[in-house]
């Protein structure tokens, strides 16, 4: 699997549809979600093609808010978190060169959570691969795209509470998970983090996705979410995770360099703890699409991202509504790598 900063052929997304996440009746919450998703797509399409999956009944609503350059693809959807329900694109090495393939992980609604629906979304790995015109490999491992990050040189970040979740992969061991992931992604070294952000374990959380906690910025360097407030429940866990990463060694034998991305100052929404994180950004061709929260930390985060990804435009998009519904900019996007020349 190429790193996210490698050249892309396109970005894939899914358009919010009436459901338990956004409101069944198509009210103001659904409209807010559609505007938030569209804001991200309309930035990315300035840098690379965007392919938006959409329920046929939602096509007219999608055209109202999306840039005309965004391609609409009719697919039956349950939800709109394509990082998680969609496939992972990889390159297949062979004696005659390399070609694109897609890995379809087993998807069961983030561990068969009571609020989730996945009768349609569990097929998206295959359907997106077919729409992209690439071969698909089905994996027996239950996980989501937000549950791992790779550096493109053999290293993968994982979380104990996701891949080893008994509601995802009952009976699987560390060795079982690593063997399956390494065989599918071409990785050789797994760095396990103990947990995710506290709010990610509430009723509508993913139970520890790594893409709000840490990500590779380049080989040998990771960006990690930190919580400066000693009274916040994430303060000590994130300090521990930063230390784990500082002492970790990647697949090339390098000790990791850690860049800290302090959390926004706002810690709750209507009295409920939130997992707002600047780590949950997306890399497109020549751009970093980051999360903004109308927070004093936004400017600081933009500066850190500019340092981490020199030569790329840094564009912050208001992500408060995306996080209100359960994720961030990275959670709603999925890269299709360009075919190597």
Q: Is 218 a catalytic residue?
A: no
Measure the N-to-C terminal CA separation of the chain; round to a whole number of Å. Answer: 16
Contact 72, 38 (CB under 8 A): no
Question: How many whole angstroms separate alpha carbon 245 and alpha carbon 261?
Answer: 14
**Which among 121, 17, 24 is positioned nearest to 59, based on CA atoms?**
17
For residue 164, the Cα-to-chain-centroid distance in whole angstroms is 19
For residue 205, the Cα-to-chain-centroid distance in whole angstroms is 14
Length of the chain: 341
DSSP-H helix ranges across 195-336: 235-247, 297-308, 320-324
Question: How many whole angstroms separate alpha carbon 206 and alpha carbon 197?
Answer: 10
Which residue among 331, 332, 334, 336 is the active-site one? Answer: 331
Active-site positions read 331
């Amino acid at each position: 699997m190429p790193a996210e900063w490698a050249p892309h052929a396109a970005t894939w997304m899914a358009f919010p549809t009436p459901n338990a996440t956004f409101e069944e009746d198509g009210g103001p919450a659904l409209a807010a979600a559609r505007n938030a998703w569209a804001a991200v797509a309309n930035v990315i399409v300035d840098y690379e093609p965007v392919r938006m999956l959409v329920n046929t009944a939602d096509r007219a609503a999608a055209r109202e808010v999306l840039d005309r350059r965004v391609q609409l693809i009719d697919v039956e959807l349950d939800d709109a978190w394509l990082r998680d329900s969609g496939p992972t694109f990889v390159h297949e090495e062979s004696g005659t060169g390399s070609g694109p393939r897609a890995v379809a992980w087993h998807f069961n609604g983030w561990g068969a959570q009571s609020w989730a629906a996945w009768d349609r979304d569990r097929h998206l790995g295959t359907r997106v691969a077919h729409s992209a015109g690439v071969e698909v490999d089905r994996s027996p491992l239950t996980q989501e795209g937000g549950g791992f990050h790779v550096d493109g040189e053999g290293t993968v970040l994982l979380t104990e509470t996701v891949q080893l979740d008994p509601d995802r992969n009952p009976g699987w061991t560390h060795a079982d998970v690593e063997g399956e992931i390494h065989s599918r992604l071409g990785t050789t070294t797994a760095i396990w983090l103990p947990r995710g952000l506290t709010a990610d374990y509430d009723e509508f959380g993913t139970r520890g996705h790594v893409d709000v906690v840490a990500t590779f910025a380049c080989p040998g360097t990771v960006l990690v979410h930190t919580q400066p407030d000693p009274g916040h429940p994430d303060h000590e866990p994130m300090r521990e995770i930063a230390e784990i990463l500082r002492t970790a060694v990647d697949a090339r034998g390098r000790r990791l360099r850690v860049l800290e991305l302090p959390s926004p100052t706002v810690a709750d929404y209507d009295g409920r703890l939130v997992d707002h994180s600047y780590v949950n950004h997306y890399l497109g061709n020549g751009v970093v699409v980051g999360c903004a929260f109308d927070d004093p930390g936004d400017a600081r985060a933009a500066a850190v991202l500019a340092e981490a990804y020199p030569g790329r435009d840094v564009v912050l998009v208001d992500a408060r509504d995306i996080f209100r519904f359960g994720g961030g900019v990275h959670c709603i996007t999925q890269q299709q790598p360009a075919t190597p020349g």
